[in-house]
A and B are shown apart, each in its own frame.
Chain A
């Protein structure tokens, strides 16, 4: 057993990349500040790795208002295989971690309703 390493970190060499890939796998999209807040990490760490993944053609981004939103690149030729790997790794993620980071409300909430 590898102590202190997370599942995909060994392959991607970076814990932030694992968090990004799991986020995009679970929610379909994500933005740097949202991820930084969720994982309580500095936003520049996410920006840096998102840029790197984008340069590699693995993810793509679009501006929505002033927010840059990232998704997997549907045209990435190894996307099916990459998602299969992420899905497998996600299965092994401790339930506690899944509950904390990957089960956020995604259904709509009408404007003005209290949180």
Chain B
């Protein structure tokens, strides 16, 4: 399959990378802003693909080189003709102090992406809002919650555990006003 690297979408690239790694027995999961892009159908456009894997970075480097991505710094990879930036963030895959609650598999014509669930994606964005008061992250959490089926009880439970129930109320208030 011929790939137009300049015009490739984030979902397609995520699938290509996931398949490449899986083909060599390397498990990975897509986390962060790329999941927001996918779940909101690019209402929010991220140019970073953050993966978590327990494989050695050396092994990942060799596999990504086969897709034309070169290691730019310790954990970042770029391909000159591709607008996206790939990062392998340090494991474990977590939101706040808890591990991810499962994963979602998404089939595309380029292969299957394993990514965090929509509920974990909302929690992941809320974590940035809770800890750094990041308003963009709050907007992204609202976008995902407005586009996907979310377990709101789970989001509330987790928010309480993280100690941010007041900000959780703000999130719900903003979400209701957008609907």
* A contact set with B: CB distance below 8 Å: 51, 55-57, 74-75, 77-80
Residues B90 and A77 in contact, CB atoms below 8 Å apart: no
Residues B99 and A51 in contact, CB atoms below 8 Å apart: no
Q: List 13 A-B contacts (CB under 8 A).
A: A55-B75, A55-B90, A57-B90, A74-B127, A74-B132, A75-B94, A75-B127, A77-B94, A77-B96, A77-B97, A77-B99, A79-B97, A80-B97
Among A55, A75, A77, the residue within 8 A (CB) of B74 is A55
* B contact set with A: CB distance below 8 Å: 74-75, 89-90, 92, 94-99, 127-128, 131-132
Give the total number of A-B pairs whose CB atoms are below 8 A apart: 25
Residues B98 and A74 in contact, CB atoms below 8 Å apart: no
Residues A56 and B96 in contact, CB atoms below 8 Å apart: no
- The closest CB in chain B to the CB of A77 belongs to B94
**Residues of chain B within 8 A of A78, CB atoms compared:** 97
**Residues of chain A within 8 A of B131, CB atoms compared:** 74-75
Among B89, B98, B128, B132, the residue within 8 A (CB) of A77 is B98
**Bound complex: CA A55 to CA B75 (Å):** 8
Closest 9 CB pairs of A and B: A74-B131, A77-B94, A57-B90, A56-B90, A55-B74, A75-B127, A77-B97, A55-B75, A77-B92
**Residues of chain B within 8 A of A57, CB atoms compared:** 89-90
**Bound complex: CA A78 to CA B94 (Å):** 10
**Residues of chain B within 8 A of A55, CB atoms compared:** 74-75, 90
**Nearest CB on B from A105, distance (A):** 26
- The closest CB in chain A to the CB of B93 belongs to A77
**Nearest CB on A from B51, distance (A):** 13
- The closest CB in chain B to the CB of A80 belongs to B97
- The closest CB in chain B to the CB of A55 belongs to B74
Among B74, B92, B132, the residue within 8 A (CB) of A51 is B74
**Residues of chain A within 8 A of B98, CB atoms compared:** 77
**Nearest CB on B from A10, distance (A):** 22
**Bound complex: CA A79 to CA B95 (Å):** 12
**Residues of chain A within 8 A of B128, CB atoms compared:** 75
**Bound complex: CA A65 to CA B61 (Å):** 33
**Residues of chain A within 8 A of B95, CB atoms compared:** 75
- The closest CB in chain A to the CB of B74 belongs to A55
**Nearest CB on A from B33, distance (A):** 14
**Nearest CB on B from A50, distance (A):** 12
- The closest CB in chain B to the CB of A52 belongs to B74
- The closest CB in chain A to the CB of B99 belongs to A77
**Bound complex: CA A79 to CA B94 (Å):** 12
